[in-house]
Structure 1
């Protein structure tokens, strides 16, 4: 595939800011750093208990399967298409992991991996502010690197409205620049139904659009009741996939009630930037919901030591490849940042006879993570001070994914817990580290502490045993 000759992001930062109308702040794909949508509910992510990514045994912490991830041996899919989202072209000017390079890299990898695409679906936030320049740069990349003859399906995202235009003007620009005929639409590709939703303002889907969706779904079911129906939205629905605390509102409940009448629906959503390596990125209850991740950068839940934008978040770039066969749909997860697959493919059997047959439910995992024999926690003596200790330990293992650790420090004299926090296992990285090192801060001089580390998986299961070590702070001055 041909490459574009110019690299606009090589321009000086000041000029780029003028061209793109940029803000250099590091919030997610929303108007405010604290809220990527309508804000999380009080009890936050609604897909069940705390997290569980499984990075596998320490000898191979979660780099995913080999390069050639299989579908069905000996069979060609009836339909194949990538799903990507959230490139936010125009956001970044100072990182070496810049927007345009990541977008182009994702398309190049998809071309190599899927040489005969039937369609490519983009789920919104193509640009940072919906400016004409940002669209031009984005579509130059897309047009130069897409495969010939494919169906291009673009959805509008909230960032396309993040400008001084009226909603109607933002929509007109989106349609003109992407070549879409309408904001929301229904296509049949290789005898499979694709229904693309389009927000009509920031995070808003009207009752009229949802009524239209119901009519489209009914027609698709009448046409072929045994095939899956693919539905695409920039926003996720509450209490579905990982990250769905940033969900659609208002009319989110109405949209859910519409979709739940059709268990054969596979509903893809972007917006959250949550990493697809977490197994909760697919969820089945009344229908199937799938998180697409983000091409641009990663965002994740708060309340952890590394923060919502952990170190290295700007490197993480994710997308999906979907294959449809006559009796199943295979969804493969891609880490563009590592040029590798992420975890095992998700397989959805079709036709859907009953929701009782769903495998990817919120209660699907009851296995506890565990520390391998010989695992230990030690103190980095070179970093010990009168108020701080650093604990290093071997990562745990899990049947799916080790998501995080509970770290506690107890004063040996008083038996009181003085430090307690959760920290990510860094499961989202290209190479998951076999060991981690975390700080224990705000301690008293010349005091002995017991430090305990418990592993937690994505579904909230905790290790039966903890790693424990005892250490003493220095005397100080």
Structure 2
């Protein structure tokens, strides 16, 4: 119980640390204008002043209590090196390598989980390897997996695989290495299908390697790497593979000590669902190229600023635990609390389960929601509001605009909290379009966390669109 309490407090400190920019009430009100004399009798909630300025990367969290790990290795994916030597992805890759060398000066391995290139071109591989070879640590074992983009070069499947092996120096499309007594099993996509291909042959080979690793030492973690995630596991696994999915999953589920790393989704590491535990541990590896997100939010699946994202994992292995740290390369800082997995592995003690969070986000007592007067138009309103709080992460807001005169819902949508930005914007500004001119609307706002829990309280404000003629196209 004591450990659970400590873990919970750590998660709360993470959410507090996300909001690095804060404003006071006067500054907030100066940026907005409320409709005079139209009080709704509501309790405004979520104080900006209640959000302490604390960086999530406090040094005490990230130095692993002074103990020296048995094994340390970074994991990255989806680098997408383009054929242009001055391409932004190459520059980001170089920055990644140099920053990881600074924060992890003694690496035992370096893993890239697929999509090294954008189209599997010879020059793309050359740029990748040239940047990597001059910055790799000589003691680190290089392990690369092939992703679907690495096949998009117009070659036959066999020739595309051969190019991958020739250019990277990997021994096979899938292989097994032992580093300092720990087992690394690397799998690869077998062709360029966007939804991924892992054949029965490859999965049966995986099963054999898992048995070997388990027989060697059942108390140690086993690291498995594959480009596409397994559907129904981590955040973004809706983009996982379908063919042979159950065979793949059932092969891993016999070994709770497995930690499975996947790429492909480009989903950010900030969301707590990026790690998933049920029968074993799965974790996503984000991207070194550009971010992708859930559909159905007004910011879109590739929101503004998505190309800035660049993230990595750093894995520290001890005799009784594995610590996985999340690194914002683009921000030269850590994001979130490290994940800690205890060993010997016991699935009944897993804490990063899909039902681990039942607490709803909430707005505290003096939060603010206002209409941004200077951005009001005949068909649109802009709202500014204090971000809600949550024990893990506020992921979305549900916005409902209701016509006061007819009581009909005129607009309803989901919007990201923009948790993926550094710093997370607080207050957050959202636009509401496709409204009627000269009409008063009640805007109501609920917060949702990463696990779909909805806030019990809400923010409300009245806003009126401008009078005017709307030109039809």
- Write out aligned runs for 1:207-356 (5 A): 207-352=200-345, 354-356=346-348
Q: For residues 69 and 148 of structure 1, do their structure 2 counterparts lie closer, same or farther at Cα, with a shift above 3 Å needed?
A: farther
In the TM superposition, residue 361 of structure 1 has moved relative to its aligned partner by: 0.3
The corresponding residue for 2:159 is: 169
Distance (whole Å) between structure 2 residues aligned to residue 74 and residue 93 of structure 1 = 41
Decide which moves more: 78-87 or 436-445: 436-445
The corresponding residue for 1:378 is: 370
In the TM superposition, residue 65 of structure 1 has moved relative to its aligned partner by: 2.1
In the TM superposition, residue 201 of structure 1 has moved relative to its aligned partner by: 1.2
- Write out aligned runs for 1:24-423 (5 A): 54=15, 56=18, 58=48, 59=51, 64-66=56-58, 69-90=61-82, 98-202=88-192, 203-352=196-345, 354-423=346-415
Distance (whole Å) between structure 2 residues aligned to residue 144 and residue 343 of structure 1 = 31
Aligned residues: 422
Distance (whole Å) between structure 1 residues aligned to residue 146 and residue 424 of structure 2 = 34
Distance (whole Å) between structure 2 residues aligned to residue 61 and residue 404 of structure 1 = 22
Q: For residues 68 and 142 of structure 1, do their structure 2 counterparts lie closer, same or farther at Cα, with a shift above 3 Å needed?
A: farther
- The 4+ residue runs of structure 1 with deviation greater than 3 A are 53-63, 91-95
Unaligned runs of 5+ in 1: 1-52
The corresponding residue for 2:10 is: none
CA contact (8 A) 1:401 1:457 kept: yes
In the TM superposition, residue 249 of structure 1 has moved relative to its aligned partner by: 2.9
CA contact (8 A) 1:88 1:125 kept: yes
Question: RMSD of the alignment, in Å?
Answer: 1.7
Unaligned runs of 5+ in 2: 1-13, 20-47
Distance (whole Å) between structure 2 residues aligned to residue 451 and residue 465 of structure 1 = 14
1:433 corresponds to 2:422: no
Decide which moves more: 61-70 or 386-395: 61-70
SS in 2 for 1:145: coil
Q: For residues 208 and 319 of structure 1, do their structure 2 counterparts lie closer, same or farther at Cα, with a shift above 3 Å needed?
A: same
Distance (whole Å) between structure 1 residues aligned to residue 85 and residue 408 of structure 2 = 47
1:442 corresponds to 2:473: no
The corresponding residue for 2:5 is: none
SS in 2 for 1:314: helix
In the TM superposition, residue 67 of structure 1 has moved relative to its aligned partner by: 5.2
Query: Per-residue displacement from partner, 1:267-305 (whole Å, max 9, x unpaired)?
Result: 000010001100000000010000000011100111000
CA contact (8 A) 1:61 1:432 kept: no
Distance (whole Å) between structure 1 residues aligned to residue 212 and residue 340 of structure 2 = 25
Q: For residues 155 and 407 of structure 1, do their structure 2 counterparts lie closer, same or farther at Cα, with a shift above 3 Å needed?
A: same
SS in 2 for 1:409: strand
Distance (whole Å) between structure 1 residues aligned to residue 134 and residue 435 of structure 2 = 57
Q: TM-score, normalised by structure 1?
A: 0.86
Decide which moves more: 111-120 or 378-387: 378-387
Query: Per-residue displacement from partner, 1:194-232 (whole Å, max 9, x unpaired)?
Result: 000012113211111111110100010000010010000
Distance (whole Å) between structure 2 residues aligned to residue 420 and residue 167 of structure 1 = 46
CA contact (8 A) 2:231 2:242 kept: no
SS in 1 for 2:238: coil
Q: For residues 122 and 326 of structure 1, do their structure 2 counterparts lie closer, same or farther at Cα, with a shift above 3 Å needed?
A: same
CA contact (8 A) 1:233 1:268 kept: yes
CA contact (8 A) 1:69 1:341 kept: no
Q: For residues 91 and 316 of structure 1, do their structure 2 counterparts lie closer, same or farther at Cα, with a shift above 3 Å needed?
A: farther
SS in 2 for 1:475: coil
Q: For residues 355 and 62 of structure 1, do their structure 2 counterparts lie closer, same or farther at Cα, with a shift above 3 Å needed?
A: farther
Q: TM-score, normalised by structure 2?
A: 0.87
In the TM superposition, residue 70 of structure 1 has moved relative to its aligned partner by: 2.5
